[in-house]
């Protein structure tokens, strides 16, 4: 019953996101029905699909990573895939001169893959969870610094301004082809993550219990890292990086599943999709002269939650 209610609410928000603002769509319909259809299908539908799919991807991958590391501070950003994808897209756009959206998405995916290779190389084959976490943080910081360097040295003097949406996330002016380039690989990777939900629940009992039931803890950890990197990297390569959703959604989802990490994957995906839809809808509803990236809103919301989690963890450790 809860799932049905949540899906209904998500569908309502998605439709509201698709049709809002209604005034411009109604004016276009009065002027030319074909124009209204084009506006709805070519501009608004990709934006709604990307907001919903990207948010769900962040929620599912964030829940899987938090279950893997048994740490509520873990998020898709720690794999370095977000920073790597942004780096690949910036390099292809400003240094190789690529303009085709599919090629840019492919470049972003390659950047995410490169970050993943570096992560696994640093961590080693027989690594533990803490080493993976630290290696991911190192890769993310290095890729972010490389992206800033590429922008600073880019031939275009407007590189920083033009690439702001890559660094903070935006769904504006995306096509259906771009949506497919991001969401198809993300959907496949998320489906594979969902198949490992039972193993993630067992992981909470310890690696010994997990191994005794026929699973390989280290291999499972690598699979979770790889699938999360692919899913998030594909979305970042088209929409840019959006922070904190992969942190907030799993924390809220676990409250709905009595703390079961594997069962939290689906609710986290729905909460993530809802959060990104509402954040983008809020930006479109506020009359502003400037286009504010959706990542700004999610960061403003996520920072207090992040601090609250830190304080909660410190309180538990002190007691």
Sorted by where each begins, the domain ranges of the chain are 2-318
Contact 77, 133 (CB under 8 A): no
To 5 degrees, how large is the angle CA 165–CA 85–CA 183?
Answer: 85
Name the one residue in this structure whose structure tokens are 């992981």. Answer: 203
Q: Of 280, 271, 268, which is closest to residue 239 (Cα–Cα)?
A: 280
How would DSSP label each residue in 215-266?
--HHHHHHHHHHHHHHHHHHHHHHH----SHHHHHHHHHHHHTTT-TTTTHH
pLDDT at 313: 66
Lookup result for tokens 């276009």: 28
pTM summary value: 0.88
Q: Mean pLDDT for each consecutive 10-residue tract of the chain (319 residues)?
A: 80 90 79 83 92 96 88 78 86 86 79 82 65 81 88 81 76 89 93 93 78 80 86 88 89 84 92 94 79 85 79 66
Using a 10 angstrom Cβ sphere, with 0-12 exposed, 13-18 middle and 19 or more buried, the burial of residue 42 is exposed
Position 211 scores a pLDDT of 78
Can you give the pLDDT at residue 49?
96
- CA 196 to chain CA mean position, Å: 19
Residue range 2-318 in CATH 3.40.50.970: no
With the C-alpha atoms ordered 70, 73, 77, 79, is the resulting torsion angle positive or negative?
negative
Q: How far is residue 197's CA from residue 193's CA, in Å, rounded to a whole number?
A: 7
């Amino acid at each position: 019953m809860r799932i049905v209610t949540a899906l209904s609410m998500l569908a309502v928000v998605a439709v509201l996101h698709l049709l809002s603002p209604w005034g411009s769509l109604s004016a276009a319909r009065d002027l030319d029905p074909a124009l209204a259809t084009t506006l709805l299908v070519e501009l608004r539908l990709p934006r709604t699909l990307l907001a919903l799919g990207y948010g769900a991807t962040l929620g599912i991958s964030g829940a899987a990573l938090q279950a893997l590391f048994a740490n509520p501070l873990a998020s898709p950003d720690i794999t370095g895939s977000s920073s790597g994808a942004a780096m690949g897209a910036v390099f292809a756009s400003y240094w190789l001169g690529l303009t085709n959206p599919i090629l840019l998405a492919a470049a972003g995916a390659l950047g995410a893959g490169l970050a993943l290779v570096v992560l696994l190389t640093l961590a080693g084959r027989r690594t533990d969870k803490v080493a993976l976490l630290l290696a991911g943080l190192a890769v993310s910081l290095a890729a972010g610094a490389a992206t800033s360097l590429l922008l600073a040295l880019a031939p275009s003097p407007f590189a920083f301004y033009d690439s702001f949406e890559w660094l903070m996330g935006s769904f504006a002016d995306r096509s259906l082809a771009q949506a497919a380039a991001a969401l198809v690989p993300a959907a496949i990777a998320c489906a594979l993550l969902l198949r490992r939900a039972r193993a993630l629940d067992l992981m909470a009992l310890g690696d010994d219990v997990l191994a005794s039931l026929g699973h390989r803890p280290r291999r499972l950890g690598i699979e979770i890292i790889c699938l999360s990197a692919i899913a998030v990297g594909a979305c970042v390569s088209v929409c840019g990086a959006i922070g904190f959703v992969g942190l907030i959604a799993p924390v809220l989802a676990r409250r709905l599943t009595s703390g079961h990490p594997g069962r939290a994957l689906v609710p986290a995906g729905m909460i993530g999709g809802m959060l990104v839809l509402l954040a983008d809808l809020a930006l479109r509803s506020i009359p502003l002269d400037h286009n504010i990236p959706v990542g700004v809103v999610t960061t403003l919301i996520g920072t207090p939650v992040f601090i609250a989690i830190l304080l909660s963890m410190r309180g538990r450790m002190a007691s």
